[in-house]
Amino acid sequence: MTQMTDTTLDLARQHANARIRKARINAAIRYVVLGIVGLVMLYPLIWLVGASFKTNSEIFANPGFLPQNPTADGYIEGWKTSTPYTFGTFFLNSFKIIVPKVIGTVISCTFVAYGFARFDFPFKKILFGSVIAILLLPNVVTRIPQYILFRDLGWLDSFLPLWVPSALAGDAFFVFMLVQFLRAIPGDMEEAARVDGANSWQTLVFIVVPMLAPALISVALFQFMWTMNDFLGPLIYISSVDKYPVSLALKLSIDTTEAFAWNRILAMSVLTITPALAVFFAAQKYFIEGISAGGIKG
């Protein structure tokens, strides 16, 4: 009897060991694949940082990360640019575009999402349908008349064409994301506030906004990142160099310094991606939640 139990136990143990071994091999294979893919994907970025400290002759000769004769020349010379302005001006311009745009987006999208998620009104279905339609509408088809409109308004070569559409909740994706988020929150608290005599405006500010806060942070972060990376908007609307954001300034550097000073361009490239990277690493949880919640472009 004991004999038999032992063998059964042994068998069971062997079975369990085999399963553990299989799971370990499985995990090992996954790590190897992830490691290789990760390295191949991220190495260009790592190389970029190393290369920005290399001399010009070394950039196309050394595939390694570490520079042989490290130099900050690229940063010092690149920062000065070939224009009368430094990259400091261009960074300041980028932030002058970004800050009002992000604020306008957050405020307007909160209003609109609140309206959609908590009120009934005429044409609601059609209007919400239009949010989805804008989400799918290629910008390319409205860009030319928008340009003509902004020209007629006298807004060309100012930041207004970049600010105003966003301040009117023009980024349908954010509206959609916030509506989805709000619909998942039960309205009990708001109902209670209303019974206590709060009007819809107070309810919005004191009840809804605090609950929406994580989603609003996601909105702000994505808008920051996309605006930082935006190139076509400024390319079309901004023409004076003193108003250039960093994306245009970088393109200008390529056009004017390319032939001889690669490390300047690489160094400035590193600087232009730093804000987006820093924000991402500081707040990555909001990014990942934002994408999973709304589904996203990029």
Partner 1 sequence: MTARRMLGLGYLAPYIAGLLVFTMVPFLASLYLSFTDYNLMSAPVWTGLQNYIDLFTSDRTFRRSLTVTLIYVFTTVPLKLAFALFIAYILNYRLRGINFFRTAFYVPSILGGSIAIAVLWRYIFATDGLVNMGLTAMGFEAVNWFGDPGNALFTITLLRCWQFGSAMVIFLAALQSIDKSLYEAAAIDGASKLHSFIFITIPLLTPVIFFNLIMQMVQAFQEFNGPYIITGGGPLKSTYLLPLYIYDEAFKRFDMGYASAIAWVLFVIIMVLTLVAFWSSKKWVFYAGDKRS
Residues 23-52 that bind partner 1 (CB under 8 A): 26-27, 30-31, 33-34, 37-38, 41-42, 44-45, 47-48, 51
Structure-token pair, residue 272: 């232009």
- Selected from 92, 156, 167, 217, the binder of partner 1 by CB under 8 A is 167
Please list, in sequence order, all residues whose beta carbon lies within 8 angstroms of the beta carbon of residue 98, skipping any fewer than 6 positions away: 223, 224, 227, 228
Closer residue to partner 1 (CB): 85 or 280: 280
Closer residue to partner 1 (CB): 167 or 241: 167
Q: Are 221 and 213 in contact (CB under 8 A)?
A: no
- Selected from 146, 158, 180, 257, the binder of partner 1 by CB under 8 A is 146
Residue 130 touches partner 1, criterion: CB under 8 A: yes
Please report, as residue ranges, which positions from 183 to 202 form the binding site for partner 1 (by CB under 8 A). Answer: 200
Q: How far is the CB of 135 from partner 1 (least distance, A)?
A: 9
CA dihedral 150, 153, 157, 160 (to 10 degrees): -80
Residue 257 touches partner 1, criterion: CB under 8 A: no
- Selected from 103, 241, 276, 283, the binder of partner 1 by CB under 8 A is 276
Residue 169 touches partner 1, criterion: CB under 8 A: yes
Closer residue to partner 1 (CB): 15 or 151: 151
Residue 269 touches partner 1, criterion: CB under 8 A: yes
Residue 144 touches partner 1, criterion: CB under 8 A: yes
Please report, as residue ranges, which positions from 66 to 95 form the binding site for partner 1 (by CB under 8 A). Answer: none
88: left (phi over 0), alpha (psi -120 to 50) or beta: alpha
Residue in 282, 274, 294 with CA at minimum distance from that of residue 45: 274
Closer residue to partner 1 (CB): 15 or 143: 143
- Selected from 67, 100, 115, 187, the binder of partner 1 by CB under 8 A is 115
- Selected from 67, 100, 170, 187, the binder of partner 1 by CB under 8 A is 170
Rg (CA), the chain: 27
Q: How far is the CB of 219 from partner 1 (least distance, A)?
A: 15
- Selected from 3, 63, 154, 260, the binder of partner 1 by CB under 8 A is 63
Q: How far is the CB of 123 from partner 1 (least distance, A)?
A: 8
Residue 181 touches partner 1, criterion: CB under 8 A: no
Residue in 54, 67, 95 with CA at minimum distance from that of residue 262: 54
Q: Can you tell me whether residue 203 is helix, strand or coil?
A: helix
- Selected from 189, 226, 257, 283, the binder of partner 1 by CB under 8 A is 226
Report d(CA 56, CA 228) in Å as an integer. 27
Residue 266 touches partner 1, criterion: CB under 8 A: yes
Please list, in sequence order, all residues whose beta carbon lies within 8 angstroms of the beta carbon of residue 101, skipping any fewer than 6 positions away: 162, 163, 166, 167, 223, 227
Please report, as residue ranges, which positions from 236 to 255 form the binding site for partner 1 (by CB under 8 A). Answer: 236, 247, 250-251, 254
Report d(CA 250, CA 253) in Å as an integer. 5
Helices (H), 52-159: 56-59, 73-80, 87-118, 124-136, 140-152
Count CB neighbours of 172 within 10 A. Answer: 18
How many amino acids of this chain bind partner 1 (CB under 8 A)?
90
